[in-house]
């Protein structure tokens, strides 16, 4: 993976040169790569994911991509749903998430392959978007609840343990950010605001958050099997 940067006016793009060069139907590196209208006009939008950010699934030729704009939630959304405080390019959420995803991907951990991140500077604020490769046939763990086999839940727990052993503090570990592909392999997505940390109390906080998420989907009992696999 070869990360490179480019700039067009107020737009800064961090991208994997191999991913973008290999794409057959994607626009050239630049703002149009992150413009949903360009993809729709080309007839390359093949689906849309639920959620605050309204991620789009894109036909990039040999593979599909996920285009996810950054959207605020909670109280901050009352001020702006799309703008974040500018404190420097490398501290933007999009650049940090892409670099972290690339680092984990290169270490062989099951995360989507990153493609590109875009940051548009607006004085004191910025807007951003991220593109990753779509995992074929993947469904959120939440969609498989209840009724998931205990052995598969143990595999989920073992996968979470791999990330924790690598030092990843996933601040939003929930049943929608754990994916199961067509072969029941487990993937972890949405690394926004996540970071690599030294050992501490944070792994248990991650697991407790996952437990609360499972309870919301009426599958609190699934956490026992996940903890077995984790151990």
Which are the catalytic amino acids? 172
**Phi, psi (degrees; rounded to nearest 5) at 56:** -110, 145
Tell me the C-alpha distance between 53 and 124, whole Å.
22
- Tracing tokens 């700039």 back to the chain, one arrives at 7
Helix (H, G, I), strand (E, B) or coil at 18: helix
Alpha-carbon distance of 34 to 37, in angstroms, equals 9
CB distance 65 to 115 below 8 Å: yes
| HSE toward the beta carbon, residue 221, CA cutoff 13 A | 7
Name the strand (E) or helix (H) holding 117: strand 114-122
Element (H, E) at 155: helix 150-165
Please state, in angstroms and as integers, the Cα–Cα distance from residue 216 to each residue in 6, 111, 133, 146, 212, following that order. 42, 25, 29, 11, 6
């Amino acid at each position: 993976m070869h990360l490179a940067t480019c700039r067009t006016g107020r737009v800064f793009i961090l991208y994997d040169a191999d991913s973008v060069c290999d794409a057959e139907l994607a626009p050239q590196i630049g703002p149009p790569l992150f413009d949903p209208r360009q993809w729709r006009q080309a007839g390359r939008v093949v689906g849309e994911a639920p959620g605050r950010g309204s991620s789009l699934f894109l036909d990039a030729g040999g593979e599909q991509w996920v285009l996810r704009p950054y959207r605020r939630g909670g109280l901050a959304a009352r001020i702006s749903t799309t703008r974040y405080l500018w404190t420097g390019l490398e501290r933007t959420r999009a650049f940090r998430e892409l670099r972290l995803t690339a680092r984990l991907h290169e270490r062989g951990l099951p995360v989507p392959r990153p493609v590109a991140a875009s940051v548009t500077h607006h004085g004191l604020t910025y807007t951003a978007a991220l593109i990753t490769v779509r995992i074929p046939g993947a469904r959120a763990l939440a969609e498989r609840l209840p009724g998931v086999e205990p052995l598969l839940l143990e595999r989920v727990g073992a996968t979470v343990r791999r990330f924790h052993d690598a030092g990843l503090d996933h601040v939003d570990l929930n049943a929608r950010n754990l994916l199961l592909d067509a072969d029941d392999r487990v993937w972890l997505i949405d690394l926004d605001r996540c970071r690599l940390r030294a050992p501490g109390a944070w792994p248990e906080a991650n697991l407790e958050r996952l437990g609360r998420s499972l309870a919301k989907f009426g599958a609190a009992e699934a956490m026992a099997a996940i903890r077995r696999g984790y151990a």
